């Protein structure tokens, strides 16, 4: 199983970040001429959270690389051997697959409204159909699923810290975005909030 994971997890990361982040952003930019990447480098709370989220995703990739290619470094992540259970690993792989499919479907449904961060410069329709009809934040939900899936696939103290940090930052980012969307869309977003849960 370990040999299989060492092959499949780097491929998974390439698919997740390549398809879900870069490819969808590229398509939206090509169709609209608008850069969907809206995480800045300023000193605002939004920009600061965005920086930490980027660090979290980079650390996630480094953990997978250490696990797959650098065994001498992997030991410094402090593995948790009692979590190396076959059934748990199987569930984790299923969760990782579900997270990728969930995020890709949500992004397709979001279409040209797709943004990474808060875009104060351009306007786009409020997406309320598909997965957005059952969760106000399906893409962030998928990202949390991915983090939890990796935690139980690569159970280490390092993965645990990154997972907890990532989930906390996602919760903060979601609340920042909700305040922005409420101000931008007003009663339309308020009605959407009452009708659809934040997560599920």
Question: Does the model's pTM come out above 0.85?
Answer: yes
Q: Which residues pair with 79 in a beta bridge?
A: 156
Digit-coded pLDDT (tens) for 143-199: 999 999 999 999 999 999 999 999 999 999 999 999 999 999 999 999 999 999 999
Say yes or no to pLDDT of 1 above 70: no
Find tokens 């609209």 and name the residue: 32
Assess if residue 46 is contained within a domain. Answer: yes
Q: How far apart are CA 35 and CA 71, in angstroms?
A: 39
**For residue 69, what are the contacts with CB-CB under 8 A and spacing of at least 6?**
6, 10
Assess if residue 11 is contained within a domain. Answer: yes
Asked whether the beta carbons of 60 and 166 are under 8 A apart, the reply is yes
End-to-end CA distance of the chain: 32
Domain count for the chain: 1
Digit-coded pLDDT (tens) for 9-59: 999 999 999 988 888 888 888 888 888 887 777 778 888 999 999 999 999
Structural domain boundaries enclosing 23: 2-195
Assess if residue 200 is contained within a domain. Answer: no
| CATH code of the domain covering residue 13 | 1.20.120.1630
């Amino acid at each position: 199983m370990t040999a299989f994971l060492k092959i499949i997890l780097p491929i998974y990361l390439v698919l997740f970040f390549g398809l879900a982040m870069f490819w969808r952003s590229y398509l939206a930019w090509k169709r609209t001429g608008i850069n969907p990447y809206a995480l800045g480098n300023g000193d605002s709370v939004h920009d600061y959270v965005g920086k930490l989220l980027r660090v979290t995703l980079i650390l996630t990739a480094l953990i997978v690389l250490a696990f797959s290619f650098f065994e001498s470094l992997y030991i410094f992540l402090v593995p948790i051997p009692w979590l190396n259970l076959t059934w748990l690993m199987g569930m984790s792989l299923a969760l990782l697959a579900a997270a990728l499919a969930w995020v890709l479907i949500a992004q397709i449904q979001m279409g040209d409204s797709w943004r990474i961060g808060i875009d104060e410069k351009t306007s786009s329709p409020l997406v309320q159909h598909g997965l957005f009809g059952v969760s106000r934040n399906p893409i962030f939900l998928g990202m949390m699923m991915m983090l939890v899936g990796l935690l139980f696939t690569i159970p280490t103290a390092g993965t645990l810290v990154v997972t907890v940090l990532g989930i906390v930052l996602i919760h903060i980012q979601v609340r920042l975005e909700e305040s922005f969307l409420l101000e931008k869309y007003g009663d339309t977003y308020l009605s959407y909030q009452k009708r659809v849960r934040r997560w599920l």
